Amino acid sequence: MQPFTIAIDGPAAAGKGTISKAVATHFDLAHLDTGLLYRAVGARMLTGEDPIAAAHALVAEDLGTPALRTAETAQAASKVAVIPEVRAALLDFQRAFARRSGGAVLDGRDIGTVICPQAEVKLFVTASAEVRAQRRFEELRDRGYDTEFATVLAEVKARDDRDMNRSDAPLRPAEDAVVVDTSDLTIAQAVAQTVDVIEAARQRRPR
């Protein structure tokens, strides 16, 4: 089968990860959460490593540690993601993954704009900062973390600001991306809407 690449971008905690996993399962495609690459580099930086060297030295085992999910690592990921040499070191792996035979779903910040501008489907999944912070707050609370909503909101906004205003590959929708605002949608509704957009693109595809 010809590669069929689905690019899903958007800000932190908009629902990209959940939607991407559901879409990958629905269409039986491989899935890459590209945020994990930046989190793995961020985690290595927090142990004192140079982020550029860390980006060149990443191995599969780096992507599986629970520490990648902490708020501290998320901020570190957003900081190393500003460095052009870090982004460049991670580019080939992501592009090769995107064009694997059969196709793939990649989620991140710059998939539709930089990594795969030729992706067959581009989605930009977003939601208001307050809704995203509320979701993240509840998730952290359920996992037993003692935190305040105001702290989580401030972290979400700090990450948005860094991700959207960096000069290399800033977070923004590709011109031909379909925007899905999940602020007032349930997970099931957001997944259904996304699947419809992808199904329509598959139908239009030359055979």
Question: Which stretches of the chain bind ligand DC, using CB under 6 A?
Answer: 12, 34-35, 38-39, 74, 77-78, 81, 108-111, 159, 163
For the CB of residue 116, give the shortest distance to ligand DC in the complex, in Å: 11
**Residue closer to ligand DC, measured from CB, 35 or 103:** 35
**Residue closer to ligand DC, measured from CB, 181 or 204:** 181
For the CB of residue 184, give the shortest distance to ligand DC in the complex, in Å: 22
For the CB of residue 175, give the shortest distance to ligand DC in the complex, in Å: 18
- Nearest alpha-carbon partner for 129 in 166, 181, 69, 53: 181
**Residue closer to ligand DC, measured from CB, 120 or 160:** 160
**Residue closer to ligand DC, measured from CB, 28 or 61:** 61
CA atoms of 114 and 95, how far apart (whole Å): 10
For the CB of residue 162, give the shortest distance to ligand DC in the complex, in Å: 7
**Residue closer to ligand DC, measured from CB, 111 or 178:** 111
- Nearest alpha-carbon partner for 5 in 85, 88, 107, 76: 107
For the CB of residue 206, give the shortest distance to ligand DC in the complex, in Å: 29
**Residue closer to ligand DC, measured from CB, 2 or 151:** 151
- Nearest alpha-carbon partner for 89 in 41, 32, 33, 36: 41
CA atoms of 204 and 22, how far apart (whole Å): 22
- Nearest alpha-carbon partner for 108 in 94, 120, 96: 94
- Strand partners for 106: 7, 32
Tokens of 172: 């923004």
The sheet that has 121-126: what strands, in order across it? 30-33, 104-108, 5-9, 121-126, 178-181
For the CB of residue 205, give the shortest distance to ligand DC in the complex, in Å: 25
Altogether, the residues listed in the chain come to a count of: 207
Tokens of 122: 């581009």
**Which residue type, as a one-letter code, is found at position 22?**
A
